[in-house]
């Protein structure tokens, strides 16, 4: 937990923390969840991914180029 706190002094992606620590993302997610429950870190969820229709329109547009 302490190492995660030291690495997360500014916004950091969980995948980056996991890579630096050599731990699976699931383990880091649980550890950060523990820190969040203790109000030691803030967690921001990523914006939702675009729906499939938007992605298909982008692909069509790129193919048209």
Q: Write the DSSP symbol of residue 48.
A: P
Closest CA to 43 of 20, 21, 4: 4
Residue 21 pLDDT: 94
pLDDT in tens, the chain (65 residues): 999 999 888 889 999 999 999 999 999 999 999 999 999 999 888 888 888 888 899 999 999 98
Burial code of 21-50, b = ≥16 C-beta within 10 A, e = fewer? eebeeeebbebbeebeeeeebeeeeeeeee
Residue 46 pLDDT: 82
Model confidence, pTM: 0.68
Q: Tokens 């803030």 appear where?
A: 42
- E strands, 1-65, where? none
């Amino acid at each position: 937990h302490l190492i995660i706190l030291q690495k997360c002094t500014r916004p950091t992606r969980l995948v980056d923390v996991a890579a630096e620590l050599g731990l699976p993302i699931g383990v880091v997610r649980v550890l950060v969840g523990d820190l969040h429950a203790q109000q030691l870190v803030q967690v921001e969820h990523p914006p939702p991914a675009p729906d499939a229709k938007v992605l298909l329109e982008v692909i069509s547009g790129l193919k048209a180029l």
